[in-house]
């Protein structure tokens, strides 16, 4: 069974620090990788997508992908209290459905 | 204004009752999905549809039914056979892409419907 694993947290970081969120996946055929942010009681919103090895930066967010290690991460620089949420890692193997991890709860402390 | 609309936002089900959750999208996406999320848990796939008039069971389809008569619409019925229906239900859609069109393979979510049992 295809799996996506994340630490459930909570991960607590002080305001202004770098938050590092990690995700591993089991299917080597996976081609597309996503990070979603989900505030309590709300639906997931896409914050990053990445398709090739290396880093992809968008504002304060950087996604890192290492297909050989089957590992994808999300770095949040200059963390703000408004970043406090659950972050879902999602993986899409080619021609198959999205597989979501359980999410990591991030708490940014003022 | 493109997006995915779910209604109602809150829904209450009585014992033995079937209820239907609405999902409409105007993104021209081919694929649509229904997920269930329990408190503190990840997303579990109930049903999905890649094209009109065709749909497939996901991981937890028992007690649920769907239809896909139009590209824009993918309603979910929670039947009385679903004994523990209290959850947050999320509808999503995506436009499948391959090769150079991988950037189209992104899944977007509606605002969700919170279902409770009376």
Could you write out the DSSP letters of every residue in B31-77? EEEEEEE-TT--EEEEEEEEETTEEEE-TT-TTEEE--SBTTB--EE
Chain A closest-CA separation from residue B99 CA (Å): 10
Q: What is the pLDDT of residue A1?
A: 64
> A35 to chain B: which residues are within 8 Å by CB?
none
pLDDT digits (tens, 9 = 90+) for B24-62: 999 999 899 999 999 888 899 999 999 999 999 999 999
Q: B88: Cβ–Cβ under 8 A, 6 or more apart, which residues?
A: B36, B37, B38, B112, B113, B114, B115
pLDDT digits (tens, 9 = 90+) for A42-64: 999 999 999 999 999 999 999 99
Q: B90: Cβ–Cβ under 8 A, 6 or more apart, which residues?
A: A43, A44, B6, B34, B35, B36, B37, B43, B109, B110, B112
> A98 to chain B: which residues are within 8 Å by CB?
33, 94, 107
Q: Please indicate whether, in this complex, the C-beta atoms of A32 and B41 are within 8 angstroms of each other.
A: no
Of the CA atoms within 13 Å of residue A110, those in its CB half-sphere come to 2
The closest alpha carbon to A22, from A37, A40, A4, belongs to A4
Strand B4-7 vs strand B31-37: parallel, antiparallel, or unpaired?
Answer: unpaired
Chain B closest-CA separation from residue A110 CA (Å): 24
Of the CA atoms within 13 Å of residue B92, those in its CB half-sphere come to 29
**Res. B103 pLDDT band, cuts 50 70 90:** low
Q: What is the pLDDT of residue A62?
A: 98
Answer yes or no: are the C-beta atoms of B44 and B64 closer than 8 Å. Answer: no
Strand B4-7 vs strand A61-66: parallel, antiparallel, or unpaired?
Answer: unpaired
Q: What is the pLDDT of residue B104?
A: 57
Q: What is the pLDDT of residue B100?
A: 45
Of A61-65, B92-96, B113-117, least confident by mean pLDDT is: B92-96
pLDDT of B15 over the 90 cut: no
Q: What is the mean pLDDT of chain B?
A: 90
Mark out chain B residues that contact chain A at CB-CB < 8 A. 33, 41-43, 45, 48, 58, 90, 94, 98, 102-103, 105-112
Average pLDDT over residues B59-78: 97
* Assigned token pair, A85: 């949420």
pLDDT of B14 over the 70 cut: yes
Residues in chain A, pLDDT under 50: none
Q: Which of A43, A51, A100 sits opposite B42 (nearest CB)?
A: A100
* A42, closest residue in chain B (CA to CA): B111
Q: What is the pLDDT of residue B6?
A: 98
Q: A57: Cβ–Cβ under 8 A, 6 or more apart, which residues?
A: none
* A96, closest residue in chain B (CA to CA): B96
Q: Please indicate whether, in this complex, the C-beta atoms of A44 and B45 are within 8 angstroms of each other.
A: no
Residue A52 to residues A27, A45, A66, B58, Cα–Cα distance (Å): 15, 21, 8, 28
Q: Please indicate whether, in this complex, the C-beta atoms of B107 and A98 are within 8 angstroms of each other.
A: yes
């Amino acid at each position: 069974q295809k799996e996506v694993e994340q630490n459930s947290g909570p991960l607590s970081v002080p305001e202004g620090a770098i938050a590092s969120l990690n995700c591993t996946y089991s299917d080597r055929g996976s081609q597309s990788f996503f990070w979603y942010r989900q505030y309590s009681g709300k639906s997931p919103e896409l914050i990053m997508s990445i398709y090739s090895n290396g880093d992809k930066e968008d504002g304060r967010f950087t996604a890192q992908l290492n297909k050989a290690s089957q590992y994808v991460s999300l770095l949040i620089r200059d963390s703000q209290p408004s970043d406090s949420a659950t972050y879902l890692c999602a993986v899409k193997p080619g021609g198959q459905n999205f597989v979501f991890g359980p999410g990591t709860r991030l708490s940014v402390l003022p | 204004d493109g997006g995915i609309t779910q209604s109602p936002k809150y829904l209450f089900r009585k014992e033995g009752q079937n209820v239907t959750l609405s999902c409409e999208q105007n993104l021209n996406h081919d694929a649509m999905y229904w997920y269930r999320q329990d408190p503190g848990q990840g997303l579990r796939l109930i049903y999905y549809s890649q094209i009109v008039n065709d749909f497939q069971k996901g991981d937890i389809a028992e007690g649920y039914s769907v239809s896909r008569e139009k590209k824009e619409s993918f309603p979910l019925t929670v039947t009385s056979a679903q004994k523990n229906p209290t959850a947050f239900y999320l509808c999503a859609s995506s436009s499948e892409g391959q090769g150079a069109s991988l950037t189209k393979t992104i899944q977007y979510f509606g605002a969700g419907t919170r279902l409770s049992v009376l």
